[in-house]
Structure 1
Amino acid sequence: MLPFRRPSWRAFLACLVCFGFQSLAYADASWPAAINIGIQKGDPLVALRASGELEKVFSAHGVAVRWKEFVYGAPLVEAINTGDVDVGAVGSTPPILAQAGAAPGVVYVAFAPKLQKSYGIIVPARSTIQRVEDLRGRKIAFAKGSQGHLFVLKALADAGVPVTSVQFVYLNYSDARAAFERGFIDAWAVPDPRYADTELSTGARTILTIGQLSVAQYGFYIGSRDFARRYPAALRLLFDVLDKQTASELAHPAQTAEFLAQSTGVRLDVWSRALPRLEWGVHYPLTDEVVKAQQDAADLAYRERVIPRRVEVRDAIVDIR
């Protein structure tokens, strides 16, 4: 039986006790009428949505669960800012842009494990580019405001390559894939599962993975400051269920890949390649190490004029404990 199939309510409560959940921590809290969750392909919330388990858990508190899918992080941030979404998973760049711009109400509430191999800078199979230094005079694509944006900036800084010597091409994922295949761009910063799909379909080569940067990069769970302060128990319950299910899914990659292929429409071979390198999981509150790494990313964004002013990451954190 797949670990994410819907168990009975009694069995699920037994699992909560087994995993050491403090169910009483949720009992006296006020609960929202609904929780609106933003998801992107490749984040663990996709599997949680497909399993239906979160709806079952939240129904005990009279909370409806609504899912909204986004192509990358920047639109998700805007949805949180406007109140259409309460919480979602993003890379390091979107919350920095939010804090420095018109969405100061967007806050960090949890973080994912250190990013290692799930994001890569790739080049066509027959490209002469072998390393980041070879990108001088070349075109590299990424979605503006995405994790890939600061990934590329940090990669260039680590390699001593001036930003002015590289041409940035801001493309969404579908347009970037077409440009990559037609030779209109020389390199592409792309996350899984699109990363794995491009490797399998085109034979693309990786010249750098995100874990090779000089400073660790993390994924984050963000939400509105108002929701995080009013309903911390709802966020804790979401993250506790997500973390335990994620651990089970990653322990059964073959079954999980098959399940995701059936529920997302992404090919089985793509998920089979992507899953072993996805950094799924969730932890809270943010640690000093994570905050320091994210502050480095924010300072880089300011130096490279991605944001108009310097920001203090700690000012945008809500501790939901």
Structure 2
Amino acid sequence: MKRAIAAIPAVLLLAGCAPANTATDDFELRVGALTTQNVLTLCQASGGLDGPIEEVGGSVTASDPFPAFAPASEALAAGHIDVGSSGATGVLSALAGGRDLVVVAVERNDNDTQGIVAGSGTGIASIEDLAGRTVAINEGGTGDYLLRKALVEHGMTIDDVEPVSLAPADAATAFSSGQVDAWATWDQYLVSAQVDLGATLVASAADIGAQNPSVHVVSREFADEHPLGVGALYRALEGCADEVAADPSILADAYREAGVSDAVAEEIIAHRAPSIAPADEDFAAEFAELAEFYADQGLTDELVDTSAATADVRTWVEG
């Protein structure tokens, strides 16, 4: 998937003011990819980040993949990595915890790669059927949000079910062994549950109006110090997403290498490949709405101000 992507010299306007330095400089982009094969993960693994970053004077290194965004956000806060990925919910939780992050790219698809599944022998076929049942979630993250959003859309509350907080790998084990009745999850976990375990899709994110796209974030420090690096990162992600859209086998092969079955890999690429979009005013509005939902649900102690946590690439100007 390696390709040379021309980086346009640009300055990223953050919170309404442009960083003063527009020159190329010597820097290192330290990537904290996830085990999920999103565009950043694929782009880093293929070397697709290298050319654009090198064109603006930087180099690329990578940590071991993170199983979830929570530990990646800790690494961002500690200054060990510069860029990571998450669902928008994970970034919101990180902001609530005092992390200073900037969303610089959004993955857009048909909103069908997240959802709630039920075990094949549970008799659960609708959101209403979840009443009184155990549902695996990652507390405060995608699963927690999906479950709460689905319940609200159907006139229910979190008190109507029994949520079980588990990390993704532990949730997979609990679900496959019947220790939980349902699971709110995403990407390969969602597809594997259906294809390998015969789980019932109770609702997709699109069915319940969920707004939790995958996003790519940088630390505020990196954005301020290396705006050209942020611009090159965005261009690289665009190029890598275009390549996957043109050749979905790239994504299937990556998931096979990560250990999923051939059937799961093929089902994953049956979904529309994501495209890279800017964290524009539409996303900023979605993110603010997500923050309101979290506050209403008591997932954050107060309403998180997201107004300075997005950067719209259309505000770039040539240096």
TM-score, length-normalised on structure 1? 0.86
In 2, distance between residues paired with 1:42 and 1:221?
13
Q: Which residue of 1 aligns with 2:135?
A: 140
Q: Give the partner amino acid of 2:222.
A: F
Count of residue pairs brought into register by the alignment: 303
Q: Does 1:179 align with 2:201?
A: no
> What is the RMSD of the two structures over their aligned residues, measured on CA atoms?
2.3
Q: Please point out which of 237, 247, 251 is paired with 2:246.
A: 251
In 2, distance between residues paired with 1:252 and 1:258?
10
- Deviations, residues 43-93 of structure 1 (Å, cap 9, x unaligned): 112221231232244334442212231111222222111111211121121
Q: Does 1:287 align with 2:314?
A: no
- CA distance change for structure 1 residues 262 and 147 in 2, over 3 Å: closer, same or farther? closer
- Deviations, residues 182-222 of structure 1 (Å, cap 9, x unaligned): 21111101111122222222111100011122353322221
1:117 Cα deviation from its structure 2 partner: 0.9
Q: Please point out which of 202, 207, 216 is paired with 1:212.
A: 207
Q: Which residue of 1 aligns with 2:254?
A: 260
- The answer to whether the Cα contact below 8 Å between 1:211 and 1:217 also exists between their aligned partners in 2 is no
Q: Please point out which of 225, 239, 256 is paired with 2:234.
A: 239
Q: Which residue of 2 aligns with 1:122?
A: 117
Q: Percent identity?
A: 24
1:240 Cα deviation from its structure 2 partner: 1.0
In 2, distance between residues paired with 1:122 and 1:187?
6
Q: Which residue of 1 aligns with 2:45?
A: 50
Q: Give the partner amino acid of 2:119.
A: P
1:157 Cα deviation from its structure 2 partner: 0.7
Q: Does 1:78 align with 2:74?
A: yes
Q: Please point out which of 268, 290, 314 is paired with 2:307.
A: 314
Q: Which residue of 2 aligns with 1:270?
A: 264
In 2, distance between residues paired with 1:199 and 1:279?
19
Q: Give the partner amino acid of 1:100.
A: A
Q: Which residue of 2 aligns with 1:222?
A: 217
Q: Please point out which of 297, 300, 304 is paired with 2:293.
A: 300
Answer 1 or 2: which has greater helix percent. 1
After TM superposition, the structure 1 stretch with the greater mean CA deviation from structure 2, 217-226 or 167-176, is 217-226
- CA distance change for structure 1 residues 144 and 216 in 2, over 3 Å: closer, same or farther? closer
- SS at 2:123's partner residue? coil
Q: Which residue of 2 aligns with 1:63?
A: 58
- The answer to whether the Cα contact below 8 Å between 2:84 and 2:216 also exists between their aligned partners in 1 is yes
In 1, distance between residues paired with 2:110 and 2:134?
24
Q: Name structure 1 gaps, 5 residues minimum.
A: none
In 1, distance between residues paired with 2:262 and 2:44?
18
- SS at 2:270's partner residue? helix
User: Which structure has more RCO (C-alpha within 8 Å, separation ≥ 6)?
Assistant: 2
In 1, distance between residues paired with 2:207 and 2:227?
35
Q: Give the partner amino acid of 1:53.
A: G
- CA distance change for structure 1 residues 261 and 71 in 2, over 3 Å: closer, same or farther? closer
In 1, distance between residues paired with 2:189 and 2:199?
12
After TM superposition, the structure 1 stretch with the greater mean CA deviation from structure 2, 36-45 or 150-159, is 36-45
- Deviations, residues 217-242 of structure 1 (Å, cap 9, x unaligned): 32222121111122121122112122
Q: How does 1:191-202 map to 2 (within 5 A)?
A: 191-202=186-197
- Deviations, residues 247-294 of structure 1 (Å, cap 9, x unaligned): 2212222x324531464343333222112326523222x222222222
Q: Does 1:30 align with 2:34?
A: no
- The answer to whether the Cα contact below 8 Å between 2:103 and 2:218 also exists between their aligned partners in 1 is yes
- CA distance change for structure 1 residues 215 and 142 in 2, over 3 Å: closer, same or farther? closer
After TM superposition, the structure 1 stretch with the greater mean CA deviation from structure 2, 110-119 or 237-246, is 110-119
Q: Give the partner amino acid of 1:143.
A: N
- The answer to whether the Cα contact below 8 Å between 1:116 and 1:277 also exists between their aligned partners in 2 is no
- Deviations, residues 280-315 of structure 1 (Å, cap 9, x unaligned): 23222x222222222221111111111111122213
- CA distance change for structure 1 residues 262 and 177 in 2, over 3 Å: closer, same or farther? closer
In 2, distance between residues paired with 1:261 and 1:100?
32
- SS at 1:30's partner residue? coil
Q: Give the partner amino acid of 1:34.
A: E
- CA distance change for structure 1 residues 257 and 296 in 2, over 3 Å: closer, same or farther? closer
In 2, distance between residues paired with 1:150 and 1:65?
33
- The answer to whether the Cα contact below 8 Å between 2:9 and 2:231 also exists between their aligned partners in 1 is no
